[in-house]
Structure 1
Amino acid sequence: MARILSFFWPKPLLALVERRIPLFSNMSLDSRVREVFATAVRAVQPDTVVRQSIQRREDVITIDGHKLTLKNNLHLVGFGKAVLGMAAEVERLLSDHLVKGILSVPHGIQESLRQHGKNHLLLKENSCIEVIEGSKHNLPDADAQKAAEKIKMLASGLTKEDLLLVLISGGGSALLPSPVPPISLQEKLDVTRRLAGAGATIQELNTVRRALSLLKGGGLAHFAHPAQVVALILSDVIGDPIDLIASGPTVQTEIWHEEVLSVLERYNLSNSLPASVKKVLGEPGPRWQKKQLGGAQDAHVINAVIGSNCVALKSAGRRASELGFRPVVLSLGVSGDVKLVARLYGLLAQFASSREEPPPEIAAELLSLGPDVGVETWDLCRTMQVLDEGRSEGWGATCLLAGGEPTVELKGKGRGGRNQELALRVAVALQGMDLPPKGPAFLSGGTDGQDGPTEAAGAVTDTSLCEEAKTQGLDINKFLDNNDSFTFFSKLSSGQRLLVPGLTCTNVMDVHVLLIPSPPLKLN
């Protein structure tokens, strides 16, 4: 077919046919962009990532390249929003060697899974794994502390013949509170809240949090020694730093007395600490060395990130290719203010949509934006090169993918989260770039199925949104000034732009999808 057409059609148009570009598809851009996002979420389902990370042959399992022998010696603990589904898959795969388990999961999650028909993510009725629900409103509480104490006791009773499988996902830090005695849970919470309120960074918060915790910063692995410890981690942090995910309970961490005191002094908190905290921080003896696993002990811990934003985007890219788009991953760490991130995507769409070579000012502004939105100069240059080659060689439509967690400056009292606001701001940036049909199209969605205090996870926009809003008398700027993106999307007569996937049972940050149809062919 392609050989016959080559006699009659220009090369760029022939390239579109050979790649089955969406020009010949009945599927709308809105449907395609939603399908790409759904594929990303499916790739990081808790049962899926566990199933793909554990290979079993008789009584030997392989995890992250390590071979481990099972002999009725498997114990399991887990903490986080997704670990119930992870544990259910472990139970299906390895129940004949499973001795005991304890999970710390969010309050109400079991009933929620039942209501949403996700029974495959629940444990068996006669399971040997105990489930403790806690951490209401994502805050550590007495139930979560009870679960943490049971997890510590289980780990402490293991021998060198045992294997401890640790399941970790986002939300795990709040579900594993274990303050160093005599510090109470409330006292520890007060210290970290005051630090956060004073503007401490996540690294500074973790420095103090680890010092006041028995299990964070390698503490759980310490208590489990000499048992073999294997942690399967579903990452919700940019860059997948295993020492930050759930505060690194299985990651060797050195805690320096001087560093902790320096953080507290930096924010003028050292003189107003509770007496219990002062007591713990004033005893730098064995307390400060115990989490330094050190030397030969390191071999007993394996940390494997089995699900992440990277995994989600790889799967999304494959699906985009099947739908006729050339996938390009921009970055896994998009961050910074949504205003700047929206400008970035607007400029990239403009760069890719141009029939002619875009003016150099666009590339210059993109490069200047990079440091403010967490995108490396190399990634921007690589992306622009691919987009430029697509234009010059005529390979057609592009799917730009990215992940991360931008931020919103809250000025108003409206409803909506970072994904809905980003989508709305990108719609403004896409005005005047009409590429049939209604392209470019953009989606920003939270893989956890939520975006602020609404049932939406994000929204889908395209070049027709601003005109649609104007026709209905909706002033986009007023909604943006009030941080009221959810109300805006709800008021649109189409009513179909919100992204509402329901309970996703996972969380690997946000996914951004920018579909850019082929620019009109310039035929001589």
Structure 2
Amino acid sequence: MARVLSLFRPQPLLTLLSRLKPALCKMSMDSRAREVFSTAVEAVQPDTVVKQSIERKEDTVIIDGRKFTLKHNLHMVGFGKAVLGMAAQVEKIMGDHLVKGIISVPNGIQQTLQQNGKGHLLLKENSSIKVMEGAKNNLPDGDAQRAAEEIKLLASELTEKDLLLVLISGGGSALLPAPIPPVSLKEKLDVTRKLAGAGATIQELNTVRRALSFLKGGGLAHQAHPAQVVALILSDVIGDPLDMIASGPTVRSEVWPEEILSILERYKLLPSLSASVKDVLARQSPRWKENKDESDASGHVLNVVIGSNSIALACAGRRARELGFRPVVLSPGVCGDVRSVSRLYGLLARFACSPEEPPPEIAAEVLRLGPEVGVESWDLCRTMQVLGEGRAEGWGATCLLAGGEPTVELTGKGRGGRNQELALRVGLELKGLELPPNGPVFLSGGTDGQDGPTEAAGAITDGGLYAEAQSQGLDIHDFLVNNDSYTFLSHLSAGKHLLVPGLTCTNVMDVHMLLIPAIPIKIS
């Protein structure tokens, strides 16, 4: 009798609705995963984020709650892979108040956008914005240096009546090289390459790079003083640290000679420095003390992150809910080796899909992996609580979302990228874990549309991957050892697992997605 009554016990309205949603959605799990990823990318399109961050009211503009007066006094500079689309939207919003602009963008980007039907991200004819292409293969070069010199000149000519709008996105550091004379661009690159080869951290690399740069580390804002500076930033760095994105050209950063020398001594590079580099470092002084009358950066510089991985995940979560999933965001800062990251996702899938209460060893290992993959214990506990409630109450399908930028240890010479290898490894972790309809499903994709030297942005896998590979005579482990995930996924089922969105025109790192099907309630 108790068993029968339990079938009719009152259920929360949201629980009942969430059970109905998957039935209403006829799309496959694979299709819904692709749709959610597409929504994440669309949310951080360069024109979209600019449009959402600027409110124009006649002769005033409001950015991040601050009001600025427009009197045909607006100048603009920009640097980064997504800056052309950002600039096109600024041009539409600001009209003739925009006096002059210079942007440094990747080599060939205008032609590529035109060929891919992205004309809305191009500037209008007779634009007041000058486009300078450079940094071929994402490396600083002479063309990018010339663009940086023109940007520096524009900023230095501004007065207290002017407003400088700075557009920044990923790739901006390579597109704004301005070494302090007499250091040449080649000499500066040699120093950073030697540091990277010696194992220096990204923080140490940036510290030295800023010391040898005229515009990085707040140098651009310094040049523009006393003009008001507003930077709109599309972040491609975990945690959105303003001083790290494009090396922080609008972020106040003091340069101390002792700190620079300490880093170079640590990696035994002092003897190999050129005379020019030694000369510049010897006469270094804290940049921001050169002008004691200069106001604090908070008064003359406004830095606003208008697009990030967190924003992409939030929009992806809303779309996932529309498609019948209960969304839960783990973290936008997943990092570390893909082997540890894939193990984490595999454990979370087993935790969520277990027909019984999962053994405590699963939760313990999840928490142990946290520090290795850059995820706080609090976020892991919160996520497991949501997954546990979903399993116990049977509220329907769940969409676990995360983002970041894991790393891959190169042991072979195959073709692939971190997203494809992560998806492949998670597919192995899900082996034997198959629930109708076709779940759980895992997706990993780069929001820039490119994963390593391949046409794919990532891949989608599930628990049937191993058996599928065996049926086609493919050894997954051999491909993994050779870092050849793209070749493997291309052979497998005619490449149906590959995620190929094409040119996305943006970059906020990667999106990870674990779609967990509804778990039937076990009634006792």
Q: Is the partner of 2:512 in helix, strand or coil?
A: strand
* C-alpha distance after superposition, 1:300-348 (max 9, x if no partner): 1000000000000000000000011000000111000000000000000
1:493 partner SS:
helix
Q: Is this contact kept in 1: 2:392–2:521, CA < 8 A?
A: no
Superposition deviation, residue 12 in structure 1: 7.2
Structure 1 residues 286 and 463: alpha-carbon distance in aligned structure 2, compared to 1, 3 A threshold: closer
Is the 8 Å Cα contact of residues 6 and 523 (structure 2) preserved in structure 1?
no
Output one character per residue of 1:392-446: Cα deviation in whole Å (capped at 9) or x when no partner: 2221211000000000000011100000000000000001111111100000000
What is the distance in 1 between the residues matched to 2:80 and 2:432? 44
Q: Give TM-score scaled by structure 1 length.
A: 0.96
Q: Superposition RMSD on alpha carbons, in Å?
A: 1.7
Instruction: Establish whether residue 251 from structure 1 lines up as the match of residue 251 from structure 2.
Output: yes
Q: Which amino acid aligns with 1:112?
A: T
Q: Is the 8 A contact 1:328 1:383 kept in 2?
A: yes
Structure 2: distance between partners of 1:425 and 1:443: 11
Name which of structure 1's ranges 283-292 and 229-238 shifts more when overlaid on structure 2. Answer: 283-292
Query: How far 1:21 moved relative to its partner?
Result: 3.2
Gaps spanning 5+ residues in structure 2: where? Answer: none
CA contact (8 A) 1:12 1:521 kept: no
Task: Give the Cα–Cα distance (whole angstroms) in 2 for the partners of residues 292 and 214 of structure 1.
Answer: 19
1:140-178 deviation line (CA, Å, top 9, x unaligned): 000000000000000000000000000000000000000
Q: Map of 1:410-425 to 2, 5 A cutoff? A: 410-425=410-425
- How far did 1:520 drift? 2.8
- The equivalent residue for 1:78 is 78
In structure 1, the residue matched to 2:17 is: 18
Structure 1 residues 14-23 or 26-35, which shifts more?
14-23
Q: Displacement of 1:297 after TM fit?
A: 5.0
After superposition, what is the alpha-carbon deviation per residue over 1:167-218, rounded to whole angstroms, capped at 9, x for unaligned?
0000000000000000000000111111111111000000000000000000
Match of 1:224 in 2: 224
Question: Deviation of residue 290 (structure 1)?
Answer: 4.0
| Deviations 1:248-296 (CA, angstroms, capped at 9, x unpaired) | 0000101111000111111111111010000111113475744999644
Q: Which residue of 2 aligns with 1:461?
A: 461
Is 1:394 matched up with 2:408? no
- The answer to whether residue 129 in structure 2 is matched with residue 129 in structure 1 is yes
**Could you say what secondary structure the match of 1:216 adopts?**
coil
Pair 1:285–1:362, CA change in 2 (3 A): closer
* Residue matched to 1:148: 148
Q: Which residue of 1 aligns with 2:380?
A: 380
Aligned positions, number: 519
Structure 1 gap segments, 5+ residues each: 1-5
Instruction: Kindly provide the amino acid, as one letter, of the partner of residue 206 in structure 2.
Output: N
What residue is the counterpart of 2:481 in the other structure? Answer: 481
Q: Is residue 419–residue 451 contact of structure 1 (8 Å, CA) maintained in 2?
A: yes
Cα distance in 2 for residues equivalent to 1:492 and 1:26: 25
Structure 2: distance between partners of 1:41 and 1:327 = 17
Q: Counterpart amino acid of 1:447? A: T
**Aligned position for 1:322:** 322
Q: State the shift of 1:49 in Å.
A: 0.1
Give CA-to-partner distance per residue, 1:67-112, whole Å, 9 cap, x none.
Answer: 1010100000000000000000000000220000000000000000
Whether the aligned pair in 2 keeps the contact of 1:254 and 1:292 (CA below 8 Å) is: no
Tell me whether 1:336 sits opposite 2:336 in the alignment. yes
Name the CA distance, whole Å, in 2 between partners of 1:339 and 1:26.
34
User: What's the counterpart of residue 451 of structure 1?
Assistant: 451
What aligned pairs does 1:292-303 form with structure 2 within 5 A after superposition?
A: 295-303=295-303
Task: Report if aligned partners of 1:219, 1:291 keep a CA contact under 8 Å in 2.
Answer: no
Is the contact made by 2:255 and 2:286 (CA closer than 8 Å) also made in structure 1? no
Structure 2 CA distance, aligned partners of 1:123 and 1:292? 40
> Quick one: distance in 2 between partners of 1:289 and 1:162?
23
CA distance in 2, matches of 1:267, 1:297: 33
Matched, 1:519 2:519: yes
Whether the aligned pair in 1 keeps the contact of 2:402 and 2:513 (CA below 8 Å) is yes
Alignment of 1:137-216 (within 5 A): 137-216=137-216
Aligned residues of 1:252 and 1:292 also touching (Cα < 8 A): no
Distance 1:410 1:522, change over 3 A: same
What is the distance in 2 between the residues matched to 1:163 and 1:236?
A: 26
Shift of 1:298: 3.6
Q: Secondary structure at the match of 1:231?
A: strand
Q: Secondary structure at the match of 2:495?
A: coil
Question: Residues 256 and 288 of structure 1 are in contact (CA less than 8 Å); yes or no, is this contact kept in structure 2?
Answer: no
Rounded to whole Å, the distance in 2 between the matches of 1:442 and 1:285 is 51
* Aligned-pair CA distance for 1:466: 1.4
Structure 2 partner of 1:3 = none
Q: Structure 1 residues 283 and 13 mapped into 2: Cα distance closer, same or farther (>3 Å)?
A: closer
- Call closer, same or farther: CA 1:420–1:151 in 2, change over 3 Å: same
The 8 Å contact of residues 456 and 500 in structure 1, kept in 2 or not, is answered as yes
Q: Describe how 1:303-314 pairs up with structure 2 within 5 A.
A: 303-314=303-314
Partners of 2:385 and 2:294 lie apart in 1 by: 45
Cα offset, 1:130, TM superposition? 0.2
TM-aligned CA distance change 1:291 to 1:203, over 3 Å: farther
Structure 2: distance between partners of 1:65 and 1:174: 31
Amino acid at match of 2:283: E
Name the SS for the 2:493 alignment partner.
coil
Contact 1:313 1:401 in 2 (8 A): yes
Amino acid aligned to 1:94: M
The equivalent residue for 2:56 is 56
Matches within 5 A, 1:62-101: 62-101=62-101
* CA shift in 2, pair 1:496/1:36, >3 Å: same
TM-superposed deviation, 1:16:
6.1
Matched-pair contact (CA < 8 Å) for 2:225–2:294: no
For residue 493 of structure 1, what is the aligned residue in structure 2? 493
Question: 2:176 & 2:446 partners in 1: Cα distance?
Answer: 24
- The one-letter amino acid paired with 1:405 is E
Aligned in 2, Cα 1:285/1:31: closer, same or farther, shift over 3 Å? closer
